[in-house]
């Protein structure tokens, strides 16, 4: 047996997009039923799992592994914000439970 968080409380929803968003990007609600990519350390509501044809599937809850930029996020409850395909430790972000940090890969696993 080994540690696994895959599938834990994982929920996705489909939103409209005004332009294609790269898989793994952090997103915010930008208009009714619509999401847009985060930039510059904005609070995010989810992570894009797929995007095509004017729609994006967005993971809104569950375990997520994402690359980070900037300072290394701390394990435990940490404020994270979105910056394109990266998350960043930021006082402007929302608080998430960080369960693992891989400094070599600059990746963080957290629960939304």
Residue 7 has pLDDT above 90, yes or no: no
Run of H or E including 98: strand 94-102
Contact call for residues 81 and 39 (beta carbons, < 8 A): no
pTM: 0.92
pLDDT for position 98: 98
Residues 54 and 67 in one domain: no
Q: Is residue 2 one of the residues assigned to a domain?
A: no
Report, as an integer, the average pLDDT of 24-45. 96
Could you tell me which residues come within 8 angstroms of residue 73 by beta carbon, excluding any fewer than 6 positions away?
Answer: 80, 87, 89, 98, 101, 108, 110
pLDDT digits (tens, 9 = 90+) for 71-83: 999 999 999 999 9
Evaluated on CA atoms 28, 10, 97, 64, the torsion sign reads: negative
At which of 61, 77, 98 does a domain end?
61
- Token digits for 24? 């793994």
Q: Kindly state whether residues 67 and 55 are assigned to the same domain.
A: no
Segment 39-49 shows an average pLDDT of 95
Do 75 and 38 belong to one domain? no
Provide the 8-state DSSP code for 78: E
Boundary (domain end) residue, out of 45, 61, 77: 61
**In total, how many domains does the chain have?**
2
| Euclidean distance between CA atoms 86 and 12, whole angstroms | 19
Decide if 26 is inside a domain. yes
Residues 41, 70, single domain; the answer is no
> Is there a domain that residue 3 lies in?
no
Q: Which domain range does residue 73 map to? A: 63-111
Residues 81 and 57 in one domain: no
Q: How many CB atoms lie within 10 A of CB 67?
A: 14
């Amino acid at each position: 047996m080994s540690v696994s968080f895959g599938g834990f409380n994982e929920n996705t929803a489909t939103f409209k997009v005004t332009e294609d968003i790269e898989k793994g990007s952090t997103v915010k609600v930008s208009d009714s039923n619509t999401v847009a990519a985060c930039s510059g350390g904005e609070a995010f509501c989810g992570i894009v799992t797929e995007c095509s044809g004017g729609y994006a599937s967005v993971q809104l809850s569950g375990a997520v592994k994402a690359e980070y930029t900037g300072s290394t996020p701390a394990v435990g409850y940490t404020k994270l914000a979105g910056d394109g395909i990266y998350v960043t430790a930021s006082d402007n972000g929302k608080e998430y439970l960080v369960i693992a940090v891989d400094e070599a890969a600059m990746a963080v696993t957290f629960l939304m």
